[in-house]
Amino acid sequence: MNELKKTTMTFENIKHMDENNSEFWYARELMFVLQYKRWDKFNNVINSAKIACEKSNNLIDNHFSQVGKMVSIGSGAKRKQIDYRLSRYACYLIAQNGDSRKESIALAQTYFAVQTRRQEISEIEYSNLSEDEKRFYQRNLTKKGNYFLNQAAKKAGVKNFDKFHNFGYKGLYNGETADDIARRKGLRYREDILDNMGSEELAANLFRITQTESKLKKDNIKTESVANHAHYTIGKNIREVIEKNGGTMPENLPTPNKSLKELEKENKIIESIKK
């Protein structure tokens, strides 16, 4: 079992369900899974995550609910210990603001990023989708993600967006640009490469997109060259995580027989015939 699967099991093992069947995690339990030994240091990460939550126009109390319990400190004495009840989104923000040098943080970023983006539909519903349905779903998320990434990139001083996006592709695809990927896939001129990816490849790119947007904002990047370098680094880091966990490199994933635009056109034809 690879590290990502083991980590996923760990996150699932410490997940709790409340009386309304809503999932949540306790910060004290998450702290140990993320390999933090001291509460004060982990609490600093939580505070940074709260700020990110607020800046995203989300109510902090909806995702970080402070709770307390009495713990024994010896000789029969007890004291109240502060803890937080965290939503999945809160865990995602904590992973985003954690120490990226820790492998557990990198794995948590992968797990919570993918799962948070799937909240629009349940995990059971997602698993029951066909491969093409998953492709449409993931493609919709990448479109939304790229919109927000472009907004963040613009604020970071990016003017040449094609070059900016190519830095991300080059990091994730071992030096390949968007044009290189299109040629390898045998696509026509200006045909969208994202429309010609399977769900796994789209998920890797979605992770690249969301992580880069977060970094541009978190590091308050203000120059185009630094933004380009950040995009490349994020892409390369994701590639390294895939390799470390025995995954298939994105350039080795199969290209679907039909693009999403072709499938969309076929569905419209079928619908018109039915009418």
pLDDT reported for residue 141:
86
pLDDT reported for residue 144:
84
Residue 229 burial by Cβ neighbours in a 10 Å radius (0-12, 13-18, 19+): middle
Q: What residues pair up with 79 in beta bridges, in sequence order?
A: 71
Buried b (16+ CB within 10 A) or exposed e, 48-80: bbbebbeeeebeeeebbeeeeeeeeeeeeeeee
Taking CA atoms, 80 is separated from 71, 117, 267, 271, in Å, by: 6, 35, 60, 62
Per domain, the residue ranges of the chain are: 3-91, 118-265
Residue 97 burial by Cβ neighbours in a 10 Å radius (0-12, 13-18, 19+): buried
Q: Cα-Cα-Cα-Cα dihedral of 149, 152, 157, 159, to 10°?
A: 30
Q: What residues pair up with 77 in beta bridges, in sequence order?
A: 74
Question: CA torsion sign, 148 to 149 to 151 to 152?
Answer: positive
pLDDT reported for residue 44:
95
Cα–Cα dist 118/98, whole Å: 22
With CA atoms as reference, report the closest residue to 196 among 244, 132, 123: 132
What does DSSP say about strands 77-86 and 23-26: parallel, antiparallel, or unpaired? antiparallel
By the 8 A CB rule, do 113 and 210 touch? yes
| pLDDT tens, per residue, the chain with 275 residues | 444 444 455 777 888 877 766 789 999 999 988 889 999 999 999 999 999 888 877 889 889 999 877 666 666 667 778 899 998 889 888 988 888 777 777 677 766 766 665 555 665 677 788 899 899 988 988 998 898 899 999 999 999 999 999 999 999 999 999 999 999 999 998 899 999 999 999 999 999 998 898 899 888 999 999 999 999 999 999 999 899 888 999 999 999 999 999 998 877 644 444 44
